[in-house]
Amino acid sequence: MGTHVCRKRMLRWMWGWSVCPVAVSRGHMPFCYTHQANPSHSGPVTHRPGNQLTLCSLLEMGFSETQAKEMHEGATKSRWKHVPSVLTALLLLGLNPSTILKIMQKCPEVYSLKGADLQQRIDHLRKMGLVEGSLQRMISHYPKVMLLPVKRVNMVPRLLREKCLFTIHQVTDILRDSPEVLEEDLAQLEFKFQYVYFRMGVRQPEMVKAKLFRLPLSELRCRHCFLERRGLYQTPDKKGQTLILNPPLKDVLCVSEETYLTQVAMATAEEFHVFRKLMAREQEEKGREDEYSSDEDEEDKDDDDEHWNTGYKKDRK
């Protein structure tokens, strides 16, 4: 169903049409939403947006009968206090009923939002450069973005611009294609960038094209090191030159494991599986070594502090 039709039906529902022919013909009259005049007032009835969600109102908003039942059940379980205003915001955004239902199924926490809070988050994403089309795609793919505090949403773009030196346009593309990055640990996010920039010799435009931030750091490192140890990837020198032709980053990251093995690594799944285990063991041992070194450094620091304090006391006498 077209966006224009969905919006038209939504506006009709907001102004409280008192008759729902579909519901009446199917015996759903008890579920219909109707505005009733207050008997204590003799003046004309003022129509206001309804604050209740019914099967009839969902049908008027463009949901099919099956979709309306599913939406009504989900809203009822969540006590659906603010659901009408949330649906209004999503419909005005241009999302169709089918997409909205999928969003609610994927992220039921959206039921708990207030319409005003949701609209504030949508407006903030627009200010970040997510225009029509990109914004709808982002919310449909990753509805959890509507639950994140504005402060958290701002932290990741700031890191990408200031620490990783992506352009504003590149940051917008990253958020559109990899919205999960908004929840990633900032230190891990920066380390992933540094690994690809310094270790693999890849620059920002290629990172964006390869959708770098969709892949976990562990998988990124595993695929790269596997190629490196097979002599198929080489870290560029200071001039950006290598003795071999490295595969493009998108061919390493943006493909399935099967395609990666057959077309890039030229290896079997068994070989990669064994290598993955070895990599995990190496990282575990390195973690223990780092922890042991950290403990030793802490002990040395304590000893230095003790000697310093002793000497300081002597000077004070």
pLDDT, tens only, 185-216: 999 999 999 999 999 999 999 999 999 999 99
Nearest by Cα to 90 from 132, 136, 125: 136
CA dihedral 120, 121, 124, 126 (to 10 degrees): -110
Contact 180, 142 (CB under 8 A): yes
Q: How many CA atoms lie within 13 A of 177 on its CB side?
A: 16
Confidence at residue 24, expressed as pLDDT on a 0 to 100 scale: 38
DSSP state, residue 10:
H
Those residues whose C-beta lies under 8 Å from the C-beta of residue 206, and which sit 6 or more positions away, are: 248, 249, 250
Q: Cα separation of 122 and 135, whole Å?
A: 8
* CA 304 to chain CA mean position, Å: 46
User: Where is average pLDDT lowest: 85-99, 235-249, 296-310?
Assistant: 296-310
Confidence at residue 82, expressed as pLDDT on a 0 to 100 scale: 80
Region 245-272 average pLDDT = 97
Those residues whose C-beta lies under 8 Å from the C-beta of residue 96, and which sit 6 or more positions away, are: 1, 2, 3, 6, 62
pLDDT: which is higher, 23 or 275: 275
Region 129-146 average pLDDT = 92
Those residues whose C-beta lies under 8 Å from the C-beta of residue 144, and which sit 6 or more positions away, are: 107, 109, 183
Radius of gyration of the chain (CA): 28
Nearest by Cα to 7 from 67, 83, 95, 74: 95
Task: Write out the two tokens for 44.
Answer: 């004309």
Contact 158, 152 (CB under 8 A): no
pLDDT at 37 over 90: no
DSSP state, residue 81:
S
Confidence at residue 80, expressed as pLDDT on a 0 to 100 scale: 62
Task: Write out the two tokens for 271.
Answer: 């070989």
Confidence at residue 177, expressed as pLDDT on a 0 to 100 scale: 93
pLDDT band at residue 307 under the 50/70/90 scheme: very low
Confidence at residue 122, expressed as pLDDT on a 0 to 100 scale: 93
Q: Cα separation of 46 and 3, whole Å?
A: 28
Confidence at residue 144, expressed as pLDDT on a 0 to 100 scale: 94
% residues pLDDT > 70 (the chain): 75
How many degrees, rounded to 5, is the angle at CA 247 between CA 244 and CA 253? 150
Cβ density class 205-214: b for 16+ within 10 Å, e for less: eebbbbbbbb
Helical spans, DSSP H, in the chain: 3-14, 21-25, 55-60, 65-77, 83-92, 97-106, 115-127, 134-141, 150-162, 168-177, 186-194, 204-209, 217-229, 249-253, 257-259, 269-316
pLDDT at 133 over 60: yes
Q: What is the DSSP string of 186-198?
A: HHHHHHHHHIIII
**Residue-averaged pLDDT of the chain:** 81
Confidence at residue 42, expressed as pLDDT on a 0 to 100 scale: 38
**Which helix (H) or strand (E) element contains residue 45?**
none
Helix (H, G, I), strand (E, B), or coil: what is residue 245?
coil
Residue position matching structure tokens 């595969």: 247
In 11-58, DSSP assigns E strands to none
- Cβ of 241: how many Cβ atoms within 10 Å? 9
Confidence at residue 186, expressed as pLDDT on a 0 to 100 scale: 96
DSSP state, residue 109:
G
Confidence at residue 303, expressed as pLDDT on a 0 to 100 scale: 53
Confidence at residue 48, expressed as pLDDT on a 0 to 100 scale: 40
pLDDT at 23 over 60: no
pLDDT band at residue 4 under the 50/70/90 scheme: low
